[in-house]
């Protein structure tokens, strides 16, 4: 099957057609999608009628092992019953809209910060695949920033300063920015992980900033100077010229490369309107163990 890629932003992001992903099992089409991810970093697939099991199975066919350690697991069990399927919604366990003081809602507000999925773990996340099941009648968009284009636009002297630097990523850090409080037991489960500030993406060999609101410090620098550098890099990387804003439709599946992008949810009246999306994230392992295709 020959896929068409329509670019959505001058630097990155493309809409892909025609394809129904739950029916894609052949290696040729999967390889086209992977090549599209290498080029565009964010791919939009419209009209995908996934059930949960179908979304999980497609993610495994495309990119191997699934991430099953979402940070939210330390505060509440998933209402979906599967730790590989993240509940990106404003719904409580009974299916009703969460109250303003619901702890899970307060934790989820961190999704409005610029971040990279699972960067606070080792192994981190590679591809995230977010599927829209219920979309409110008002704008409830998601923004993506191209970290490759942001790196390319840095002055040479700044690139030289970043060589060899590593940052500590902690989801507890990003939530505490918003005043969220963890118990000592919860805090103990969220130690974080250390990753390079600049990464080279294996197949494309493009260099990319690896940033997130989860970053608490630069390992090699004193904390004040390191946090100032991270702040400056974040401001640079999220300028409008590097950002694509996605307006959701029911059935959209958006796939992004966490090594090459950051993203954030935009606010809407979540006390009034239902919004339900399901996310699957794959592990950033050296060589993905692709699930065998069936005919």
CATH of residue 195's domain is 3.60.130.10
CA distance 74 to 80: 15
- Per-residue CA distances from 287 to 127, 170, 178, 278 (Å): 13, 25, 36, 25
Cα 196 to chain centroid distance, Å, stands at: 17
Range of the domain at 50: 4-283
For 47-111, the DSSP string reads S----HHHHHHHHHHHH-SBP---GGGGT---TTS-TTSEEEESB-TTSSBPPTT-HHHHHHGGG
- pLDDT digits over 135-162, tens only? 999 999 999 999 999 999 999 999 999 9
**3-state SS class at 25:** coil
pLDDT confidence band for 78 (50 / 70 / 90): confident
> Is the pLDDT confidence value at 279 over 70?
yes
229: left (phi over 0), alpha (psi -120 to 50) or beta: alpha
Specify if 78 maps to a domain.
yes
> Is the pLDDT confidence value at 292 over 50?
no
How many domains would you assign to the chain? 1
| Residue position matching structure tokens 């009246």 | 269
Specify if 25 maps to a domain.
yes
- pLDDT digits over 176-230, tens only? 999 999 988 888 888 899 999 999 999 999 999 999 999 999 999 999 999 999 9
Specify if 273 maps to a domain.
yes
Percent over 90 (pLDDT), the chain: 86
Specify if 291 maps to a domain.
no
What's the whole-number mean pLDDT along residues 18-24? Answer: 96
Specify if 289 maps to a domain.
no
- pLDDT digits over 49-68, tens only? 999 999 999 999 999 999 98
What's the whole-number mean pLDDT along residues 93-104? Answer: 94
Contacts of 182 (CB under 8 A, 6+ apart): 74, 75, 172, 175, 176, 190
Specify if 164 maps to a domain.
yes
> Is the pLDDT confidence value at 264 over 60?
yes
Specify if 295 maps to a domain.
no
What's the whole-number mean pLDDT along residues 245-271? Answer: 98
């Amino acid at each position: 099957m020959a896929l068409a890629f329509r670019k959505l932003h001058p630097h990155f992001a493309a809409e892909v057609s025609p394809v129904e992903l739950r029916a894609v099992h052949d290696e040729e089409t999967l390889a086209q999608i992977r090549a599209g991810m290498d080029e565009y970093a964010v791919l939009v697939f419209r009209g995908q009628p996934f059930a949960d099991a179908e979304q999980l199975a497609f993610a495994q066919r495309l990119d191997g092992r699934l991430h099953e350690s979402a940070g939210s697991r330390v505060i509440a069990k998933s209402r979906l019953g599967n730790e590989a399927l993240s509940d990106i919604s404003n719904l409580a366990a009974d299916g009703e809209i969460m109250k303003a003081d619901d702890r899970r809602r307060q934790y989820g507000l961190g999704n409005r910060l610029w971040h990279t999925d699972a960067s606070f773990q080792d192994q981190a996340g590679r591809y995230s695949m977010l599927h829209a099941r219920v979309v409110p009648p008002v704008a409830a968009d998601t923004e993506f920033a191209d970290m490759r284009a942001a790196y390319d636009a840095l002055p040479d002297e700044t690139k030289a300063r970043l060589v060899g630097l590593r940052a500590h990523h902690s989801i507890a850090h990003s939530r505490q920015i918003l005043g969220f409080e963890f118990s000592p037991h919860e805090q103990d489960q969220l130690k974080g992980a250390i990753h390079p500030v600049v990464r080279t993406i294996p197949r494309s060999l493009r260099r990319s900033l690896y940033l997130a609101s989860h970053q608490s410090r630069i390992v090699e620098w004193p904390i004040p100077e390191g946090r100032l550098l991270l702040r400056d890099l974040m401001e640079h990387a999220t300028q409008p010229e590097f950002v694509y804003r996605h307006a959701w439709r029911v059935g959209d599946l958006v796939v992004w490369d966490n090594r090459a992008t950051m993203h954030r949810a935009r606010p809407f009246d979540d006390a009034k309107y239902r919004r339900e999306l399901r996310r699957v994230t794959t592990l950033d392992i050296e060589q993905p163990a692709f699930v065998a295709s069936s005919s």
